[in-house]
Amino acid sequence: MAAVTSSRAVAAIVPCKDEADRIAATVAAVLSLEGVDRVVVVDDGSSDDTAAVAHAAGAGVVVHARNAGKAAALETGVRHLRELEAAEGAIPDTDPRTPRHLLFVDGDLEASAANLGVLVPPVLEGRADMTIATLPPQKVAGGGHGFVVRLARDGIERLTGWTAVQPLSGMRCLTAEAFEAAAPLAPGWGVEVGLTVDVLSAGLRVEEVPCELHHRVSGRDWRGQVHRAKQYRDVWRALTRRRLRRRLHRVLPERARGVAHRG
């Protein structure tokens, strides 16, 4: 069957903190993408001029007074987008262009964000419900020893049977329906793993797409180690909650059948 191209537009949601030096280039690159007609930047408790710089670059901006984490910032951005769509009222609820599909973008990508366009066609053409960018080796050395990646990859595979190349990649394009299937999002740094498991568990399609992106890499100093420890904790929590949820869903019908049989 030939793919049917969606008439929906795509809105980019950019969660960030203290990215005043990079956010203008990121916003400009995202606004250049075909199909993207709106960019919402969520300033998650920055101590610099991230919000003002993002606004001057052409993004709509929402500000968290205090840092609430990536998942909360994404949810704030999507909620703000839906409120804008409802308030504008220019597109009837029955029009397939609303609500917009979503493009999740890290704020530190700068000009390389212009390469995110490859994530959009599979979603607009109905070939995937969520696409995930796989990144090349980064220009700046850094990163950890792969413990968090292995935890995430193995956990996703056990829960869904799908093996991810880069399970922690945050750059994703997804349908409005895929986002709703994963809401509420897994908190903190577990958001990507939770998204993948929840979208696949809903019977939707996920596709990884190579994408030439470059961003800041966490170092191997004590700050980088603390960051990766928090990542590991949040990924473990996201996976554990989904395992428990699956067991609960299996147990409850069995108990219900037992009660019916005794009755």
pLDDT in tens, 89-125: 755 444 545 789 999 999 999 999 999 999 999 999 9
Report the amino acid identity of residue 36: V
Q: What is the β-pairing status of strands 172-174 and 60-64?
A: unpaired
What is the pLDDT at residue 136?
87
| Average pLDDT of the residues of the chain | 88
Domain holding 197: CATH number? 3.90.550.10
Instruction: Supply the pLDDT for residue 248.
Output: 84
Say which residue, 2 or 174, is predicted with more confidence: 174
CA–CA distance, 230 with 169 (Å, rounded to integer): 16
Q: What's the CA gap between 67 and 81, in Å, rounded?
A: 20
154 part of a folded domain:
yes
Is residue 5 domain-resident? Answer: no
Over residues 210-251, the pLDDT tens digits come to 999 987 665 566 576 787 899 999 999 999 999 999 888 776
d(CA 205, CA 199): 7
Q: Is residue 4 part of a domain?
A: no
Any domain includes 18: yes
Q: What is the mean pLDDT of residues 152-164?
A: 97
Which is higher by pLDDT, 3 or 88?
A: 88
At residue 146, the pLDDT reads: 85
**Structural domain harbouring 217:** 10-262
Residue in the block written with tokens 């029009």: 95
Q: How far is CA 57 from CA 29, 33, 139, 207, in A?
A: 10, 15, 26, 31
Q: Give the whole-number percent of the chain exceeding pLDDT 70.
A: 83
- According to DSSP, residue 67 is labeled -
Q: What is the mean pLDDT of residues 8-14?
A: 93
pLDDT of residue 38: 95
pLDDT band at 137 (very low <50, low <70, confident <90, very high): confident
Whether 178 is covered by a domain: the verdict is yes
* The model's pTM: 0.86
In a domain, 116, yes or no: yes
**For residues 128-157, average pLDDT:** 84
| Number of structural domains the chain divides into | 1
193, 162 contact by CB (below 8 A): no
96, part of any domain: yes
Q: What is the mean pLDDT of residues 38-61?
A: 97
Asked if residue 210 is part of any domain, the answer here is yes
Q: How confident is residue 132, by pLDDT bands cut at 50, 70 and 90?
A: very high
User: Which tokens hold the place of 103?
Assistant: 């493009």
